[in-house]
Amino acid sequence: MDENRLNIDEGFKRSAPSRVHIIAIVFLTAAGLIISYGLTTLSFHYSSTNKFCSSQCHEMVEPYQQYLKSSHYDSERGVVADCADCHLPPGEFNKWYTKIHQGMKDTIMHFLLKPEEMDHQKWKVSAAKSIRSEACERCHKNLFPSGLHRGGLLAHKAFKKKEVKSCLNCHTNLVHVKREV
């Protein structure tokens, strides 16, 4: 090899990362992940509250007013179902997936559409399709209460046999329907 030849690697040699650097990188990465997870969890829970939806989204003003007049809010038994109880499915993964999917859709609608340009009926149908019967059954465990009329009894039996796919096949306008004040 020619002794006069310039070695381009000279002066650019890297030393192995020190133990302190590795510990700092691991610590900062872990701290970043923990903080990110905490902030994400807090925002997830806050954005699932009735207060958030009814005050932050102009699209939710009418549905929220309808909810306040429904038996899911003003129950004879004193049991109140929050919006997330129905509109978010059971199971953490399903909740996160739904929040991300619906959140992206709602955000686009919120910033690109004016309330008067929205097709509220289409939006209502889409929202109803996202409600799973498992959400209903968390509160309505007894599908055969005393005093249930014959039609209800037959419908609930068909539901239990999986002949009826969703509670909303029969109970569509329970909460979000225009009512007189």
Contacts for 18 with CB less than 8 Å, ≥ 6 apart: none
List, in sequence order, the alpha helices (H) in the chain: 19-46, 50-56, 61-68, 83-87, 92-112, 120-129, 133-139, 150-160
List, in sequence order, the alpha helices (H) in 114-161: 120-129, 133-139, 150-160
Contacts for 133 with CB less than 8 Å, ≥ 6 apart: 159, 165, 166, 167, 168
Residue 148 structure tokens: 């249930």
pLDDT at 4: 59
In angstroms, rounded to a whole number, what is the distance separating the alpha carbons of residues 174 and 181?
Answer: 16
Best-predicted range by mean pLDDT (21-35, 46-60, 138-152): 21-35
Give pTM, 2 decimals: 0.69
Residue 88 structure tokens: 């978010």
Using alpha carbons, list the distances in angstroms from residue 57 to 47, 49, 53, 71, 107: 11, 12, 6, 23, 9
pLDDT, one tens digit per residue, over 122-153 is: 777 777 777 888 888 888 889 998 888 999 89
Nearest to 140 by CA among 63, 70, 85, 68: 85
